[in-house]
Amino acid sequence: MKINWNFFAMGVLLFTVIGLYIFANHRNNRRHIEKVNISFIGDQNFYLSHEGVQNLLIQKLGNLENLPKEKLVLNAVEKLIESNEMVKKAHVYLTIKGELRAKIEQRKPIGRVEGVAKYYVDEDGKRMPLSNNHSARVPLVTGNVTEQSLGDVHDIITFVNRDDFLKKNVIGIHVTEDLNYLLKFRMDNFVVDLGRTEEMPKKFNNFKAFYSKAYKDKTLSQYSRVSLEFNNQVVCTKI
């Protein structure tokens, strides 16, 4: 019988490669974690410290340095970090050199509710606890804040943050008992009555047209209330 030496050589080579891979993988798993590296991504890195994450890992998992890599479950570490109320998302992985890296995205507050309960509302419309490390410069929300009105507040602030003029000037939102929304502006004494949240683009465009003209005429200081409640109208109340 004629032996196909090329086929035989390929089989030996494949067997050798698989064996080396299994050996390297086994040896790699038995290596210990040399270092834990924690980093934050994005522009909201104020509410949770590196030390806070380190302490959380040590309290729940012990000291990870010198721990055999094969004993570490990366998904469990990610879920542990994400259990912190300041964390939006965590990505944890191991490098070839045995370094455990955790990249953390913190939640982003867009409004601060002041009432019996004090908390932030984040960019996803969810409640977020205040931080001992940093106080966010976001619009203050007061009044009748319920689950329904909190959703409206999120929609209003999200809209405001997309507009340079509004984002610069809106510093507060008050929710009335009948769920109308009153906006407080930074440099002006009047209150803007938005009414309900329907037709926000049209209402704010009308307001900016009014504001531009009143600013040019130097009459802004004459008003105590500017109502946008009715479509296509800006109704002003003088002082």
What is the model's pLDDT at position 186? Answer: 87
Residue 150: name the closest of 114, 121, 181, 180 by CA: 121
pLDDT tens for 122-163 read 999 999 999 988 899 999 999 999 988 999 999 999 999 999
> Which CATH class for the 112-238 domain?
alpha beta
The domain ranges of the chain are 31-106, 112-238
Domain 31-106 has CATH 3.40.50.2000: no
Of 88 and 96, the one with more pLDDT: 88
What is the model's pLDDT at position 20? Answer: 44
Tokens 């769920």 belong to which residue?
179
pLDDT tens for 23-48 read 445 444 456 788 889 999 987 678 88
Give the global pTM.
0.80
Same fold, 31-106 and 112-238: no
pLDDT tens for 166-222 read 999 999 999 999 999 999 998 778 899 999 999 999 999 999 999 999 999 999 989
- Residues with Cβ < 8 Å from 152, sequence gap 6 or more? 175, 179, 181, 196, 197
